[in-house]
Amino acid sequence: MADSDEYEPCETIWKFLQLKGSVGLLALLYEKPRTYSELESEIEITSSTISRRRIDANHHNLLKTDLESDEHGTKHVYKLTEMGEYLTRQMAHEGITSSYHKMRDHQKTIEEKTEKIADWVEQHPEKLLHFPEGKEGRVAPREDTELPPELEKARAAREDSNEKTSSGSDDVEKSDTDNTDDQTETGGESSDRPLSPSDKIPDDAETSGEEKTQGTFEDIPAGETESSQTDGESDS
């Protein structure tokens, strides 16, 4: 790899042991020699990082490369040197190599169970779409355009819930608006100008007074009126 050719190996073994992937490389080679592809499948680091740790270990004479031939051809096999075996034996004495293998076993278990839960999410997306945070199309990828019955049911239930929530908000808003209109209408009647005295006179009272006045003048005999005027002139 290009970046491996340009990589400058670390200065000391002390530094090498603290770099990511170093313990895994030594622990795996302590079990048996391995090819690069076998190391790549066992260590949870990138391919470029494996190449750099191999360069570091080779630079400090912790591993060596042998050529081996089989029915498939010739291949490079990485092995620990005598100093590399001695160092890794000290790691095993401290329980480092066994802990590493246990960690790898746990990691494989986690990967297998994670794959199962991912399959469960893909097969049962409606389980998560019941939650408001669940977004259709983000739970699991789907290639078909037709939704399965379970997913369609979950979406319909959520839409009904949203409609009920929206309807309740509209009813509250409408009720508030009606109350405001009622208050405005009632307030308009009470805020008119004060009633004048003429407004306070009942209709029947006004009518009866007019009729009474008209009746007084109509009931006076014509001769009596003329006589009263004549007497007044004589007195003057």
Split the chain (236 residues) into runs of 10 and give each run's mean pLDDT: 71 96 95 92 89 95 89 88 97 94 90 93 86 79 61 69 65 57 50 51 48 47 49 47
For residues 200-225, b (16+ Cβ closer than 10 Å) or e, as one string? eeeeeeeeeeeeeeeeeeeeeeeeee
Q: How far is CA 10 from the centre of its chain?
A: 45
Q: What is the pLDDT of residue 212?
A: 45
- At 218, which amino acid appears? E
Domains of the chain listed by start with CATH number: 2-118 (1.10.10.10), 124-183 (no CATH)
Q: What is the pLDDT of residue 141?
A: 74
Q: What is the pLDDT of residue 208?
A: 46
Q: What is the pLDDT of residue 126?
A: 85
Strand 63-70 to 73-80 pairing: antiparallel
- At 195, which amino acid appears? L
Task: Record the tokens describing residue 29, joined without a space.
Answer: 């080679």
pTM here is 0.53
pLDDT digits (tens, 9 = 90+) for 121-171: 888 888 888 888 887 777 877 665 455 666 666 667 767 776 666 666 555
End-to-end CA separation in angstroms for the chain: 149
